[in-house]
Structure 1
Amino acid sequence: MPKRISYQMTYDASLTDVAAMLAETDFRIAVCERQGAIRSDAEVTLEGEGKQVRIELVQPATGIPSFAQKFVGDEIHIVQEESWGSADRADVTVTIPGKPGDMTGSAVLVESGGTTTETVDLTVKVGIPLVGGKLEGLIAGLLLKALEKEEQVGQEWLARR
């Protein structure tokens, strides 16, 4: 059964400033570095009021339980794609190329009183009998930790502006 996660990142900045930060390749690379990536690449393509974001990162599989390590190997290659049709809403897909399963959902920005909240809602699905549910829980936990690090980098990034 798929696992749903929701996480809110709060920034003391306008929606315009947060949207601009999310369109900066250097910000995306800084997030990958904070997440412990061995290698990473980010590409942002502006399209009218929206943008397309593609992030590829490779992380070591250290600390992963043995039941999961045999599925991912020594490294985990992650591809995250965001399709922002406007400044405040994106469709998000995260995949691990060559492995069964994906994470799909949305990211939404809402400003209130000069503070912007980014809410990320994702559904994690792994199509492997018997261990799929365990892997979904593991991936959901790792994803929440990654979003926490993204929020930290974002808060620091915006404080310097």
Structure 2
Amino acid sequence: MKFEDNHRLNKPAASVLKMYSDREYFGKKYATLAGVKDFEILECETAGNKFRIKHRSQQKSDTSSLPDFARKFLAEYNTVIQQDTWDLASGVGRLEIEIKGVPIKISADMKVSGTPNATNAFNWNVSCGIPLLGGKLEKFIAEDIKTKSAEDAVLSNKLLADY
């Protein structure tokens, strides 16, 4: 399942990319987001205009609307491993997300642009190879991403004041 999402941010692209490439931003963000616990940075590196961070956390999902079959894949809290990579010169990035124990692939290509206010344009891809049931699981994950993305955009705008 493919879908698009945009974060409208209240500073120029250069400030947004400075924030997105700051290890401390991730710690502050995940300490504040509702439904996230046990956040840990696994890897973080900057090389020239390239930035990469990989982190793990426990993230809550409202599984009450899920059919019984899907609840065997998703618990109330799931271990999520996310890697963000950025080419800071071009403003192009990529997210790759793994939900431990869930047979689904999640990624997003990103592009930050704009002055005086930036936009981060996300092109999401959520795929599950389980016959018949995979589409329902993809739809649930996509809706969960959309809900969390809106919260993330609000918090990112607050944290952007420091950049």
Question: If the length of structure 2 is used for normalisation, what is the TM-score?
Answer: 0.86
Q: How does 1:8-157 map to 2 (within 5 A)?
A: 8-32=6-30, 33-42=32-41, 43-64=43-64, 65=66, 66-87=68-89, 88-112=91-115, 114-157=116-159
- Percent of aligned pairs sharing the same letter: 20
**Deviation digits for residues 40-82 of structure 1, max 9, x if unmatched?**
1234311211200212111234434233221123421111112
Deviation at 1:146, TM superposition (A): 1.6
The SS at the match of 1:146 is helix
Deviation at 1:150, TM superposition (A): 1.4
Partners in 1 of 2:12 and 2:46 — Cα distance? 19
Partners in 2 of 1:21 and 1:75 — Cα distance? 27
Q: Conserved in 2, the CA contact under 8 Å of 1:30 and 1:153?
A: no
Question: Given residue 49 of structure 1, which amino acid in structure 2 is its aligned partner?
Answer: N
Q: Conserved in 1, the CA contact under 8 Å of 2:63 and 2:71?
A: no
Partners in 2 of 1:8 and 1:99 — Cα distance? 26
Instruction: Identify unmatched segments of 5+ residues in structure 1.
Output: none
Question: Given residue 35 of structure 2, which amino acid in structure 1 is its aligned partner?
Answer: G
Q: Conserved in 1, the CA contact under 8 Å of 2:78 and 2:100?
A: no
Size of the aligned set, in residue pairs, is 158
The SS at the match of 1:59 is strand
Q: Conserved in 1, the CA contact under 8 Å of 2:61 and 2:144?
A: no
1:82 and 1:134, CA in 2 relative to 1: closer, same or farther beyond 3 A?
Answer: same
Partners in 2 of 1:106 and 1:41 — Cα distance? 23
Question: If the length of structure 1 is used for normalisation, what is the TM-score?
Answer: 0.87
Instruction: Identify unmatched segments of 5+ residues in structure 2.
Output: none
Q: Conserved in 1, the CA contact under 8 Å of 2:73 and 2:101?
A: no
**Deviation digits for residues 125-159 of structure 1, max 9, x if unmatched?**
01112210000000001111121111111111123
